């Protein structure tokens, strides 16, 4: 008999995405769990109408919310799949998951191909596609790193496989929403940079595959470059060497905003926090601890 999976979706005001997401999961998921952060729109109503089990929990960050879900929602299926509300499974990936579940063997960690759509166009260059991410794991064997940003699922003694087909990230909100989200992300990433400096040992050692390589490069190469230079070089790396220009006008906007503007905003946020802490005679870490952030 094929094994079964439960899909976990984290939501907050996702009424324009949640039906598309749930409907794409129906062919592969025995159970769909929505963990909502007290949405004020119709997210919960739509999810319930489509048969999802809906829970509500206060939101701190993505990592904490997902870990709460796997520990508190009585997941009993063999596998658990994490999906964001603005993502959906393409038919090829649905078929690949079904085939995998029919005979998973000893595999306990499954990498999916993530494809981002920006301003209506799939981004397939700039070393950005396919992004191989661990989203499907044996229930009880995966844990989420507790980080403010760039969190990954970690499976000890992972036996992995990669599936064909795409998990598509296609957010339908306007560009102003995307910008505001990344302003918030930048602040959270600044928190994570400060927290990571206080760690004795990098959590990257627990990761595998593409996630481990990216974490190492981010902390040991990018993080040690001069602030005024690194975001510029990163943009050129993606747009020129990664041929991001082949993604057209939409690709220029995406690679410039995501690689140059966002990375610069992270550095500016970090500078602001450190400047405020110094004015108070504290380290940035101690100030964030005092304020209950870390």
- Tens-digit pLDDT profile for residues 94-130: 999 999 999 999 999 999 999 999 999 999 999 989 9
Spatial separation of the C-alpha atoms in residues 212 and 204, rounded to whole Å: 6
Per-residue pLDDT, averaged over 8-30, amounts to 98
User: 116 Cβ partners below 8 Å, 6+ apart?
Assistant: 122, 123, 128, 129, 131, 168, 169, 170, 254
Locate 7 and state its tokens. 């899909």
Q: Please state the φ and ψ torsions of residue 129, each to the nearest 5 degrees.
A: -145, 140
- Exposure on the CB side of residue 294, measured as CA atoms within 13 A: 22
Per-residue pLDDT, averaged over 36-65, amounts to 97
pLDDT of residue 213: 64
Residue 2 scores a pLDDT above 90: no
For tokens 């990592």, the residue is 63
pLDDT of residue 150: 83
- Looking at CATH, the fold of the domain delimited by 5-170 is given as Spore Coat Polysaccharide Biosynthesis Protein SpsA; Chain A (3.90.550)
Spatial separation of the C-alpha atoms in residues 152 and 206, rounded to whole Å: 10
| Confidence band for 201, pLDDT divided at 50, 70 and 90 | very low
Residue 175 scores a pLDDT above 70: yes
Per-residue pLDDT, averaged over 148-158, amounts to 90
Query: In the predicted model, what is the mean pLDDT of the chain?
Result: 92
The DSSP code sequence of the chain is: ----EEEEEEESS-TTTHHHHHHHHTTT-SEEEEEES--SSSHHHHHHHTT-EEEE---S-HHHHHHHHHHHS---SSEEEEEETTEEE-HHHHHHHHHHHH--TT--EEEEEEEEEETTEEE--TT-SSEEEEEEEETTTEEE---SSS--EEETT--EEEEEEEEEEE--S-HHHHHHHHHHHHHHHHHHHHHHHT-SS-GGGG--HHHHHHHHHHHHTGGGS-HHHHHHHHHHIIIIIT-GGGGHHHHHHHHIIIIIIHHHHHHHHHHHHHHHHHHTTS-HHHHHHHTT--
Residue 294 scores a pLDDT above 90: no
pLDDT of residue 216: 61
Residue 255 scores a pLDDT above 90: yes
For tokens 């990375």, the residue is 263
- In percent, the amount of the chain with pLDDT more than 70 equals 91
Spatial separation of the C-alpha atoms in residues 259 and 247, rounded to whole Å: 14
Q: CATH 3.90.550.10 in the chain: give the residue spans.
A: 5-170
Residue 243 scores a pLDDT above 60: yes
């Amino acid at each position: 008999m094929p094994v079964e999976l439960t899909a976990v979706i984290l939501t907050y005001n996702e009424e324009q995405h949640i039906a598309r997401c749930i409907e794409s999961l129906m062919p592969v998921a025995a159970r769909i769990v929505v963990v909502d952060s007290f949405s004020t729109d119709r997210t919960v109503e739509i999810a319930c109408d489509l048969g999802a089990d809906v829970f509500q929990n206060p939101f701190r960050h993505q990592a904490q919310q997902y870990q709460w879900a796997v520990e508190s929602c009585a997941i009993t299926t063999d596998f658990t799949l994490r999906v964001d509300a603005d993502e959906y499974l393409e038919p090829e990936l649905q078929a690949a998951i079904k085939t995998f579940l029919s005979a998973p063997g000893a595999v306990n960690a499954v990498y999916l191909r993530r494809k981002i759509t920006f301003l209506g166009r799939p981004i397939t260059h700039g070393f950005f596609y396919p992004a191989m991410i661990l989203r499907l794991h044996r229930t009880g064997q995966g844990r989420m790193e507790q980080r403010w940003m760039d969190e990954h699922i970690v499976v000890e003694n992972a036996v992995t496989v990669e599936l064909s087909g795409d998990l598509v990230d296609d957010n339908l909100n306007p560009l102003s929403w995307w910008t505001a989200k990344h302003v918030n992300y930048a602040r959270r990433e600044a928190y994570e940079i400060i927290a990571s400096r206080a760690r004795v040992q990098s959590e990257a050692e627990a990761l595998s595959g593409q996630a481990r390589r990216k974490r190492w490069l981010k902390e040991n190469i990018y993080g040690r470059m001069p602030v005024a230079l690194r975001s510029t070089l990163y943009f050129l790396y993606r747009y020129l060497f990664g041929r991001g220009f082949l993604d057209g006008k939409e690709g220029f906007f995406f690679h410039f905003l995501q690689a140059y503007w966002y990375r610069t905003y992270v550095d500016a946020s970090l500078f602001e926090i450190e400047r405020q802490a110094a004015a108070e005679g504290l380290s940035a870490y101690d100030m964030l601890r005092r304020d209950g952030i870390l």
